[in-house]
Amino acid sequence: MLNGTIDLHLHSTCSDGKESPEELIESAVAEGYEIISITDHDTVAAIPRAIQAAEGSNLEVIPGIELSSVDGVDDVHILGYFIDYTAPEFQKRIEFFKKKRRERADEIVHNLNQLGLDIQFDTVLRLAHGAPIGRPHIAEALLSEELVTTYGEAFNRYIGQDGPAYVPKYKVEPEEAINLIHDNGGVSILAHPGILDRDELIFELKEVGLGGIEAIHPFHVYEKQVYYEELAKNHGLLFTGGSDWHGQGRSSHFRKLINARKVPRESIEAMKSFVKSRKQSGNQAV
């Protein structure tokens, strides 16, 4: 068996991954995975497709999302699991985020044009296939127009946080993302805290309801993963993990390599208990 059979952090073509939900499910089933979650950025479009594709197999598909929020200058990604992704209020709010992403992408393209790069917004739109537009789509557009030679170069030269064409996203506070997940029956998990590297924020967010942290992530070295697992256990937080797979050649193409740590089944059981007890305590919008 590969390095663990549970992966709670995958991206599909519904956001900025290279593989469709069906393709992801097909390979997860073929490779003997037990439980996966597609956690696309600010969209739940992959969920029903993934569930349908997994029908008849032994693969469990957990509804997931990765919400983008911002604290100061930092991007804070909040994963949501077991959300009621069909709830109209939830869908309405994430549609709004999608609209804001589109406006921002238009501004980034405008900045690139000002820098003399001949890139069209339509190209970006086409590459996004209806997904909420992220910088990865813009990087792909720059690549396809041969204005950069690698995906990474697009970020390093133009659209990275310090790049000349960068435009910040519409500001969603981490607390709003956490509430949005909890109000819709889910559990919130701070994604890749090691990338954020602001551990004090974990405790601040716990105060506003954060359920757990993503200890196991390819950008965390082994020791960091152990450290976050311990931190979670010592502070009454859940911990999860996943590969943050976006497809071969994308930023975290480590599907089968999450630095040797496995995501334990107990993590999923603990999340299930968490959402169940919240429901029972009536702490959820019905």
Q: Binding residues for ligand AMP, how many (CB under 6 A)?
A: 11
Q: Is 77 in the site for Fe ion (CB under 5 A)?
A: yes
What tokens were used for 117? 């790069």
Q: How far apart are CA 204 and CA 74, in angstroms?
A: 15
Q: Which stretch binds Zn ion (CB under 5 A): 7-15, 94-102, 170-178, 194-202?
A: 7-15
Name the packing angle between helices 21-30 and 46-54 (round to 10°): 30
255: which 2 tokens?
A: 């599907």
x-or-dash string of contact with ligand AMP, 240-279, rule CB under 6 A: ------x----x----------------------------
User: By the 8 A CB rule, do 62 and 35 touch?
Assistant: yes
| Interaction mask 163-182, ligand AMP, x per CB under 6 A | ------x-------------
Output the CA–CA distances (angstroms, integers) from residue 61 to 98, 103, 201, 234, 247, in the order listed: 24, 32, 30, 29, 19
Q: Shortest Cβ distance from residue 71 to ligand AMP (Å)?
A: 14
Looking at beta carbons, which residue is closest to Fe ion?
Answer: 77
Q: Does 214 bind Zn ion (CB under 5 A)?
A: no
Among 7, 16, 175, 229, binds Zn ion (CB under 5 A): 16
Site for ligand AMP in 13-42 (CB under 6 A): 41
Does the footprint of Zn ion cover residue 19 (CB under 5 A)?
no
Residue with the shortest CB distance to Zn ion: 16
Residue 135 lies near ligand AMP (rule: CB under 6 A): yes
Contact status: 191 vs Fe ion (CB under 5 A) = yes
Cβ atoms of residues 5 and 34 within 8 Å:
yes
Of 128, 135, 244, 267, the one binding Fe ion by CB under 5 A: 244
Q: Who's near 115: CB < 8 A, 6+ residues apart?
A: 158, 164, 165
> At which residue do the structure tokens 């208990």 appear?
273
* Distance (Å) of CA 283 to CA 40, 115, 174, 186, 271: 26, 50, 19, 11, 16
Q: Please, what is the minimum distance in Å from the beta carbon of residue 56 to ligand AMP?
A: 32
Nearer to Zn ion, 134 or 174 (CB): 134
Q: Which amino acid is at 200?
A: E
**Which one, of 71, 50, 70, lies nearest residue 61 by Cα?**
50
- Given Zn ion, ligand AMP, Fe ion, none, residue 214, with its beta carbon under 5 to 8 Å by kind, binds none
Whole-number Å distance between alpha carbons of 124 and 107: 12
The residues that touch ligand AMP, with contacts defined as CB under 6 A, are 41, 68, 134-136, 152, 155, 160, 169, 246, 251
Residues that bind Fe ion in the complex, under the rule CB under 5 A: 66, 77, 191, 244
